[in-house]
Structure 1
Amino acid sequence: MNTPIRRLSIFTMALFAILMLNLSWIQGFRANALIEDPLNKRQYSEYLSQPRGPIEIAGESVAFSEDVAEDGTSPLYQREYTGGGMYTPITGVLSVYSTTGIERAQNSLLDGTDDRLAVRNFRDIITGRDPEGARVQLTLDPAVQEAGYNGFQNGGFQGAAVALDPSTGAVLGAVSYPTFDANDVASVTDRNTAVANFQELENDPSQPLLNRALNERYPPGSTFKVVTAAAAIENLDATPDSTQEAPDNLQFPTGPPLPNATPGGTCNGGEPDTLAHSIQISCNTSMANWAIEMGGQTLSDQATAFGFNPDEGEELRIPLPVTGSLAPPESEDSILGRAGIGQSNVEATPLQMAMVAAGVANGGEVMRPYVVDSVLDSDMSVVTETQPETFSQAVSASTAQDLKDMMVLVTGPGGSGTNGAIPGMEVAGKTGTAETGGDQGTHNWFIGFAPADDPEVAVAVVIEHGGGSGGTLAAPIARAMMEAVVTE
């Protein structure tokens, strides 16, 4: 064999070896990932030939499969959704264009291919029974979800709200507005219209596809003062009666001065103000001074204890992915002071601020949030059931009690959040009005929990570019969501 032929033979064999390795990698190691890829249209086509398990809230199916075949022979299953857009940010949608939300996160259980359903699947093969996906039961409370959804819809607001059971971490409500009706993009009989609708949603500047409750970060404004107060009590031995300088305008060695809530505003006539009163009326300058005294690392560490600053790859999943919130350590006084009042580089999701409120409500113990309560097989046997799990001990029980007492002042006479009060019941709260650095108006916040003496629900509400205050815009929605729990 001459040299050119030998080289060609070796090259050809090398190509075959590479081809075999590639096929082995795809079929042996990448098969499941490719099958589950939401861009796999063949996967979507297979979904249409078999029923998919329902997604349930309070025992009612809010997402289910229905045979829409017109010829009466080959089944053609289409996903149907109830509640308009109220549940879409959580349930997500199964469509020819994408799979999102719980539909994606729990896909293998819903379509019946999960290994935990192997025994059932084998039994169905033996008996000739048609396969069915498992039913996924969510933690959402319909009354809480509806109260939040109606508040945004009726007010014409954009933003989000989250309600948690502080003792377990169960997500009772997760509203993102604007939203969309999943049925508009789920049609299998008119795919062109469904795709066109989805593309229109993608191009909508109001971003109805964005789950603001879990995946949008906002400056939390004065609601972050709860974290600053927690750090002061835990690290500086502060008490609600401890005082801090509270000038009408706080001057820094560099950078612009920090005013109080309104130009010329005052907290205590310019005199030192107590921590309790600073929380009650939401004083900027005193809380900035607390942050400067403790230092940037201490403030950041306290935020981390509540759930901020997750390591890369360690962000929460509930099981939906949650964007990590940020409160990095600052060193320059001008930046650190503003971080202490929830501005500067501090950014939080509504879920994160609900975790702050829930941690205070639960004696300083932050529970890990979750939205899937249980998964049942088609025979109603339990496949999985979520057990409450501690996320962190953010503060001591005594610190949590001090924070709770101060937050009760916020919704009482003279507080900044009286619109969050529930008649006949003590409610703990904190308002926030966050500057956005633009000309679109402030973000308006309220976090809180009720009843203050035996908390059943913790909430966080943010209204984008409301231009008002957290006490006037966000607090009424938070109150309605809390009332849905405590007045049942």
Structure 2
Amino acid sequence: MNRPIRRLSFVVAFLFASLLVSTTMIQFVYAKDLNARPDNRRTLLSSYARERGQILVGDTAVAKSVPVSNDYKWLRTYPLGAAYAHVTGYYSFYGGGGGLEQAENGLLSGSSDKLAFRRVSDFFTGRRTTGASLELTLDDRVQQAAIKALDGRKGAAVALNPSTGEILAMVSNPSYNPATLSGHDLGKVDTAYKALNGAADKPLVNRAIGGDLYPPGSTFKIVTAAAALSSGRFAPDSVLPGPAALDLPQTTTDLPNIGNRACGDNDETTFLHAMEISCNSAFGHLGLELGADALRDQAAKFGVGDQLSIPMRVTPSSVPAELNEPQLAQSAVGQYDVRVTPLQVAMFSAAVANRGIVMRPHLVRSVLSSDLSVIERSEPEQLSEAVTPEVAAQLTEMMEAVVENGSGKPAQVDGVRVAGKTGTAEHDPEQRAHAWFTGFAPAQDPQIAVAVVVESGGDADSEARGGGAVGGPIAKAMIEAGLKR
């Protein structure tokens, strides 16, 4: 063989070797990443060839796939529309977006490693492979009660089972119809997504667990009270200063009470009465007495700062890492830079209701096969101990007083003892305060804990006309639905 032919044979051999190596790399090394690429049309079309699992609330499918006679084979539908949009999210040609459609895509599509054995079984038995279905913890009565009571106002509502961490309701307003993003007309889907994503009121954001987060206002006084009671230095009948405004150190700015009124005779009040009427000056004083570390540590015991997955990712709530004394006093009443999700505020109440134990919140009760047999079931899991049972009992007494005699009267339920806390959170000088209510019932045997926030729905001059009058009736409706009254 002459030299030119030998050189050519080496080049050809090298090219074949390169082709073999690249093919091997694509098929075995990069295959998973290539399949996961959002612009891989072949993979996306193949995902439509398999029926996607249902998302169930009780016996009702809030997301399901129906057969169609086109290349996609299946269309994802949402029978209850906007009512569960932030729970389900949406599934389109571009993949899962938000909610469970994204967080549990592997299970719903059938591609999860948890379903590997079932896929092998389907191959040998000739059964059509389908995605797993998700049975949720949600209670449709509580969900619908929250939607109706919010009445289209911006905000969010969450309900929990205090003893298990099951999420009974999760509502975010404004909402959207996931069906507009799940169609097969990609031009319409793209137009709808751009409109929703660009909307000023951010309907795609689940305000219950994410977004910009909220100042908690006086609902955070549950945390401050827990820290004070846990210190052993204070009891519900302890006498605290309650002037019309607390003189803060290091600044000429005071911490005023709502309405600039003293909380009791001689500028004094009991701890219980301070909670009952939501006395800022008394709680600011407690914050200064306890110190920033004690306040942050107590918040952490309630779950503030935790990276939670329900299985959607929850934006962590936070208390600032550095606080001077004026900032500390403001933080003790839920202002300054304290930020929370409504889910976190519901966890405050749920922990008190559950004798001080914080349960990990979760949204999926069980994973079901196509014949609805159980593949996997969620078990209650303790997240932390926020307070002792004794302190939880004291907090319950104080929160009952809020609803029985104080700013939370609008949350009263006939024949049921309700424990709660109102909140009025200032956030923008140009807008009204956010209105909050959180609580649980029945106080002696808690079955449901709730948190409600109505954006810019409060009255900065009155806790009762803010969190009480606005958030209280919404919480009441959810509690009544949860207790099946």
TM-score when normalising by structure 1: 0.90
1:398 is aligned to 390
Matches within 5 A, 1:340-379: 340-379=332-371
1:458 is aligned to 449
Does the residue aligned with 2:82 lie in a helix, a strand or coil?
Answer: coil
1:116 is aligned to 114
2:47 is aligned to 47
Matches within 5 A, 1:70-89: 76-89=73-86
1:285 is aligned to 281
Does the residue aligned with 1:85 lie in a helix, a strand or coil?
Answer: helix
1:180 is aligned to 176
Q: 1:22 to 1:131 in 2, by over 3 A?
A: closer
Q: Kindly indicate whether the alpha-carbon contact (under 8 Å) linking 1:359 and 1:365 is maintained by their aligned counterparts in 2.
A: yes
Query: Would you say how many aligned residue pairs link Structure 1 and Structure 2?
Result: 467
Distance apart, 1:206 and its partner CA? 0.4
Distance apart, 1:259 and its partner CA? 4.1
C-alpha distance in 1, partners of 2:23/2:215? 47
Q: Kindly indicate whether the alpha-carbon contact (under 8 Å) linking 1:410 and 1:430 is maintained by their aligned counterparts in 2.
A: yes
User: RMSD value over aligned CA atoms?
Assistant: 2.5
Output the amino acid matched with 2:197. Answer: E
Distance apart, 1:269 and its partner CA? 3.7
1:3 is aligned to none
Q: 1:236 to 1:295 in 2, by over 3 A?
A: farther
Q: Kindly indicate whether the alpha-carbon contact (under 8 Å) linking 2:44 and 2:95 is maintained by their aligned counterparts in 1.
A: no
Does the residue aligned with 2:309 lie in a helix, a strand or coil?
Answer: coil
Distance apart, 1:330 and its partner CA? 4.2
1:220 is aligned to 216
2:140 is aligned to 142
C-alpha distance in 2, partners of 1:27/1:235? 62
C-alpha distance in 2, partners of 1:187/1:455? 43
C-alpha distance in 1, partners of 2:341/2:54? 29
Distance apart, 1:56 and its partner CA? 0.6
Judge which range, 54-63 or 219-228, deviates more.
54-63
Identity %: 41
Q: Kindly indicate whether the alpha-carbon contact (under 8 Å) linking 1:248 and 1:260 is maintained by their aligned counterparts in 2.
A: yes
Q: Kindly indicate whether the alpha-carbon contact (under 8 Å) linking 1:117 and 1:377 is maintained by their aligned counterparts in 2.
A: no
C-alpha distance in 1, partners of 2:23/2:398? 63
Structure 1: where are the runs of 5+ without partners?
Answer: 1-8
C-alpha distance in 2, partners of 1:346/1:245? 24
Distance apart, 1:133 and its partner CA? 1.1
Output the amino acid matched with 2:51. Answer: P
Provide, for residues 107-152 of structure 1, a one-character-per-residue CA deviation record: whole Å limited to 9, x for no partner.
Answer: 1111112222222222222232221111111111000111111122
C-alpha distance in 2, partners of 1:224/1:20? 61
1:127 is aligned to 125
Q: 1:23 to 1:195 in 2, by over 3 A?
A: farther
Does the residue aligned with 1:227 lie in a helix, a strand or coil?
Answer: helix
1:446 is aligned to 437
2:311 is aligned to 319
Provide, for residues 255-303 of structure 1, a one-character-per-residue CA deviation record: whole Å limited to 9, x for no partner.
Answer: 3533444342221145221111111000000000001100001100000
C-alpha distance in 2, partners of 1:148/1:269? 39
Output the amino acid matched with 2:344. Answer: Q
Distance apart, 1:239 and its partner CA? 0.6
1:295 is aligned to 291
TM-score when normalising by structure 2: 0.91
Output the amino acid matched with 1:355. Answer: M
1:408 paired with 2:400, answer: yes
C-alpha distance in 1, partners of 2:322/2:268? 24
Output the amino acid matched with 1:428. Answer: A
Provide, for residues 408-435 of structure 1, a one-character-per-residue CA deviation record: whole Å limited to 9, x for no partner.
Answer: 011113x001111101111000000001
C-alpha distance in 2, partners of 1:294/1:416? 25
Does the residue aligned with 2:407 lie in a helix, a strand or coil?
Answer: coil
Distance apart, 1:381 and its partner CA? 2.8
Does the residue aligned with 1:61 lie in a helix, a strand or coil?
Answer: strand
